[in-house]
Amino acid sequence: MHIHFHGAADTVTGSRHLVEMAGTRVLLDCGMFQGYKVLRERNWLPPAPALLGADAVVLSHAHLDHSGWLPRLVRSGFRGPIYATPATRDLAEVMLLDSARLQEEDARRANRYAYTRHDKALPLYTTADAKRAIAKIVPLSPGRELALGRVHVSLTPVGHLLGACAVTLRAGHDTLVYSGDLGRDDDLLMPAPHRVARADVLLVESTYGDRLHPRDDAMQRLGAIVRDTVARGGSVLLPSFAVGRAQALLLVLQRLKATGQIPRRLPIYLDSPMAIEATELYQRHRRLLRVAAREIATLTDGVTLVARAAQSAKLAQRHYPAVIISASGMATGGRVLHHLKTLLPDPRHHVVFAGFQVGGTRGAHLVAGAPSVKIHGEYVPARAQVSQLEVFSGHADADGVMHWLRGFDAPPRQTFVVHGEAAAADALRLRIQDELRWRVRVPPHGGRFEV
Ligand code: ZN
């Protein structure tokens, strides 16, 4: 078989792995590059002809770094089907439409204030492009097998995010397994990743390949932060991924209120239309979760759902203690930017990033202690307290990935470590080589391999 790494090979974003097997070409994920500008610029390059000519796309899960380039691919002429689990399809619809809207907004704002150096800013893709891509998604349930020519495709749940799966491609006796993003065994919402028994060729993610999650309790840490901040009259801002993370935060905040660890009457705002929609999807697909149905049903009880932009603008002017959950999770766009502009200059407030921050994002800058960040073309001083709670990460840490790898019956003949910053990918490569004695390498961006 032949593998060509079109993304997530030297970084954690832009997952696009083209596999050619038994005469069939399958594109595993079609993600957007995020973070450093030099990476984001790759989103504007035209898709390689080999990608446009793929027989199908198989989507591991709905996160934009895995799905966010689909509208661009379809607009450029891709004609095949896109396979994903039913839950991934539902989430991808919400996420791709939101992504298109954000890009249209950014382009409009850039043109209005002319802070772009291009002549006229254009969106990477439009809402219409996103709708065309969504219409191509065909549901494939975990455990079912689909034939694409002589290749059989199947999906195995791996926790991480509602609907997320590893992908298995099998042709005759040859099997390729792609981990997608691996969840953790102790995730708040998702069950632990299922074991996959067999792979001849394996692609495994390495987001946390060089790190272990802290063992501290998510609920205790967030509870302490909220109590301290409220006591000094400040608000807690939780920039959050709208899908998955926001629901985990709501779950913990509800438990903190129920056990009296934070004031029961403290206002909580969910300020993200996408997070509101995603919460409904988590409630609809509750059978896929590890949380009791009745707890999921009460996730938004007493929470103010801020759907309209005007309401959000008003909320940003408030000056008394509250907890605000708003997207995006790495402060790269969305309503959270207005809250950051208001809250960051005041040391009473606390901004808590609940998860991994890709290098080059505002989130990564703030977590690293930047004295100011640029928002909408102006510098905003960062005097508020800033923390990061990796306990909310949706990814397996290095031990978690190694545990999943030990579930295979026999060593794959070749393992590729993808989806990690250079240090993380290389650390995981070393552990796989030393502890498992497998043949393993980190592919370069654009690398092609015959295996
Ligand atoms: Zn993911």
Spell out the domains of the chain, with CATH numbers in brackets: 2-211+394-450 (3.60.15.10), 218-392 (3.40.50.10890)
What is the pLDDT averaged over residues 116-144? 90
Q: Which of 310, 330, 338, 344 is nearest to 234 (CA)?
A: 344
Q: Give ∠ CA 391-393-399 in degrees, rounded to 5.
A: 85
Instruction: Say if residue 206 is preceded by a cis peptide, omega within 30 of 0.
Output: no
Average model confidence (pLDDT) for the chain? Answer: 94
Q: Are 418 and 15 in contact (CB under 8 A)?
A: yes
| C-alpha 244 to ligand 1 mean position (Å) | 10
| C-alpha 181 to ligand 1 mean position (Å) | 5
- Whole-angstrom Cα distance, residue 31 to residue 63? 8
Query: Tokens in use for 400?
Result: 């978690």
| C-alpha 61 to ligand 1 mean position (Å) | 7
| C-alpha 67 to ligand 1 mean position (Å) | 10
Percent over 70 (pLDDT), the chain: 98
3-state secondary structure of 394: coil
- Distance of CA 437 to CAs 33, 383, 429, 432, Å? 32, 49, 10, 6
Query: Tokens in use for 356?
Result: 């991994």
Contacts of 331 (CB under 8 A, 6+ apart): 239, 337, 340, 353, 361, 362, 363, 366, 373
| C-alpha 183 to ligand 1 mean position (Å) | 9
| C-alpha 182 to ligand 1 mean position (Å) | 8
What is the pLDDT averaged over residues 290-295? 94
- Count of CA atoms in the C-beta half-sphere (13 A) of 446: 3
| C-alpha 341 to ligand 1 mean position (Å) | 28
| C-alpha 63 to ligand 1 mean position (Å) | 5
Query: Tokens in use for 321?
Result: 């203690």
Predicted model pTM: 0.89
| C-alpha 160 to ligand 1 mean position (Å) | 7
pLDDT digits (tens, 9 = 90+) for 242-265: 899 999 999 999 999 999 999 999
pLDDT for 116 beyond 60: no
pLDDT digits (tens, 9 = 90+) for 391-435: 788 899 999 999 999 999 999 999 999 999 999 999 999 999 999
| C-alpha 316 to ligand 1 mean position (Å) | 29
Q: Give the DSSP letter string of 160-202.
A: SSTT-EEEEEEETTEEEEE--S---TT-SSSPPPPP----SEE
pLDDT for 117 beyond 70: no
pLDDT for 90 beyond 70: yes
Contacts of 368 (CB under 8 A, 6+ apart): none
What is the pLDDT averaged over residues 66-72? 97
Contacts of 130 (CB under 8 A, 6+ apart): 71, 96, 97, 99, 100
Contacts of 402 (CB under 8 A, 6+ apart): 431, 432, 435, 436
Q: Residue length, the chain?
A: 451
Q: How many CB atoms lie within 10 A of CB 115?
A: 13
Q: Which of 28, 37, 35, 43 is nearest to 11 (CA)?
A: 35
**Strand-pair category, 236-239 with 350-353:** parallel
| C-alpha 321 to ligand 1 mean position (Å) | 32
